[in-house]
Structure 1
Amino acid sequence: MTTVAPESDVRRHELADFLRSRRERITPEQVGLPRGRRRRTPGLRREEVAQLSAVGVTWYTWLEQARGIQVSPQVLDALARALLLDATERRHLFALAGTLDPTPHATCPSVTPALRAMLDQLGPIPACIQNSRYDILAYNATYGRLMCDLDALPREDRNSLWLAFTNAQWRASIVDVTELNRTFAATFRASMAEHLAEPAWKDLLARLEAESAEFREVWARHEVVGQAGKTKFIRNKHVGLLELEHTSLWLGPAAGPRLVTMVPLDAESRARLELLERLGRPEPSEHMSPAAV
Structure 2
Amino acid sequence: MSENLATIEARRRESGDFLRSRRERLAPASVGLPEGYRRRTPGLRREEVAMLAGVGTTWYTWLEQGRDVRPSAEVLTALADTLRLDTAERRHLFILNDRPPPETAATDPGRVCEPLQRMLASLTQQPAYVVGKRWDVLAWNRAAAMLFGDYGKLQGDERNIMHLVFANEEHRKLLVDWETVARMSLAMFRSDNARYAGDPDFERLVSTLKKASPEFREWWQRHEVLRPLTGHKRIRHPEQGLMSFEHTSLSVTDQPDMKLVVYTPVETDGTIGKLAELLGQASPREAPPWGQPWTPSQNLEP
Structure 2, unaligned stretches of length 5 or more? 1-86, 88-102, 287-302
Tell me the residue number matched to 1:178: 179
Tell me the residue number matched to 2:9: none
> Which is worse superposed, 275-284 or 172-181?
275-284
Query: Is the contact between residue 148 and residue 169 of structure 1 (CA under 8 Å) also seen in structure 2?
Result: no
Tell me the residue number matched to 2:283: 281
Q: How far off its partner does 1:104 sit? A: 9.2
Q: Does 1:153 align with 2:139?
A: no
CA distance in 2, matches of 1:106, 1:262: 25
Cα distance change on mapping 1:257 and 1:146 into 2, 3 Å: same
Tell me the residue number matched to 1:250: 251
Tell me the residue number matched to 1:191: 192
C-alpha root-mean-square deviation of aligned residues, in Å? 2.4
CA distance in 1, matches of 2:285, 2:159: 25
CA distance in 1, matches of 2:244, 2:171: 16
Q: How far off its partner does 1:210 sit? A: 1.8
Tell me the residue number matched to 2:123: 122
Tell me the residue number matched to 1:269: 271
CA distance in 2, matches of 1:263, 1:274: 12
Tell me the residue number matched to 2:114: 113
Q: How many residues align?
A: 183
CA distance in 1, matches of 2:194, 2:169: 29
Deviation string for 1:9-38 (max 9, x for gaps)? xxxxxxxxxxxxxxxxxxxxxxxxxxxxxx
Structure 1, unaligned stretches of length 5 or more? 1-86, 88-102, 285-293
CA distance in 2, matches of 1:254, 1:220: 30
DSSP 3-state at the match of 2:172:
helix
CA distance in 2, matches of 1:282, 1:142: 10
Tell me the residue number matched to 1:233: 234
Cα distance change on mapping 1:205 and 1:104 into 2, 3 Å: farther
CA distance in 1, matches of 2:194, 2:285: 45
DSSP 3-state at the match of 1:257:
strand
Tell me the residue number matched to 1:135: 136
DSSP 3-state at the match of 1:234:
strand
Q: How far off its partner does 1:119 sit? A: 0.8
CA distance in 2, matches of 1:162, 1:236: 19
Identity between Structure 1 and Structure 2 (%): 33
Counterpart amino acid of residue 143 in structure 2:
T
Counterpart amino acid of residue 260 in structure 1:
V
Cα distance change on mapping 1:231 and 1:105 into 2, 3 Å: same
TM-score by length of 2: 0.56
Q: How far off its partner does 1:157 sit? A: 1.1
DSSP 3-state at the match of 2:115:
helix
Query: Is the contact between residue 228 and residue 247 of structure 1 (CA under 8 Å) also seen in structure 2?
Result: yes
Counterpart amino acid of residue 108 in structure 2:
C
TM-score by length of 1: 0.57
Counterpart amino acid of residue 108 in structure 1:
D
CA distance in 2, matches of 1:225, 1:254: 22
